[in-house]
Copies of this chain bind each other. A is one copy, B any other.
């Protein structure tokens, strides 16, 4: 009956979610080529062949993760852009939040590593390549917009806004990867050191 079908659907999606979570861990740590289906299956405690009951191929899992990771990142950035605060405050908030997240969230760091690994690789599934091409630049563009607005208000330093956005993201990204690849994490540096880069008037809280 319909009730049972619903339940089955739910079970199936839970299983898929488990597979995705395990795959994210492994793809983030080892990349696509070095991660074996067998490893993922062992990670979730099922037989190797059973994975194919839930996903048609290793690459499909990978592409789905990449897509989700990019969307998540972009959604967060759009949220930031839509806030009512003035641009310089947005930058300060964003950096503080990112550092906190890097410190606390394994999932976020894995997401960063996944995207970084994909961006750094020239051999990706065609679908992943396309997604990256389409969605990867959005955070840079949105941030550049915020920087430009801040320059209009005289709170952000004079420089090419896109270059400022690049500095912003490469810095945050670099820290996330640093943290994710160290056995013992270091405390994140004070956010003001980073956001003072962009501010006309330094903040010494």
Whether B34 contacts A177 by the Cβ 8 Å rule is no
Chain B residue nearest to A163 (CB atoms) is B189
The verdict on A123 contacting B34 (CB below 8 Å), with A166-B175, A170-B178, A194-B197 known, is yes
Whether A186 contacts B170 by the Cβ 8 Å rule is no
- Whether, in the assembled complex, A77 has its beta carbon less than 8 Å from a beta carbon of chain B, the answer is no
Mark interface residues in A92-112 (1 if CB within 8 Å of B CB, else 0): 000000000000000000000
Q: Considering only CB atoms and an 8 Å cut-off, how many residues of chain A contact the other chain?
A: 42
Q: Which of A25-33, A53-61, A66-74 is near enough to bind chain B? A: A25-33
Q: How many protomers of this protein does the assembly include?
A: 2
* CA–CA, A167 and B174, complex, Å: 8
A-B pairs with beta carbons under 8 Å apart, 12 shown: A29-B123, A31-B33, A31-B121, A32-B34, A159-B193, A160-B189, A163-B188, A163-B189, A167-B194, A170-B171, A171-B171, A196-B196
* Chain A residues with a Cβ under 8 A of chain B: 29-34, 113, 116-117, 119-123, 157, 159-160, 162-164, 166-167, 169-171, 173-175, 177-178, 180-181, 186-190, 193-194, 196-197, 202
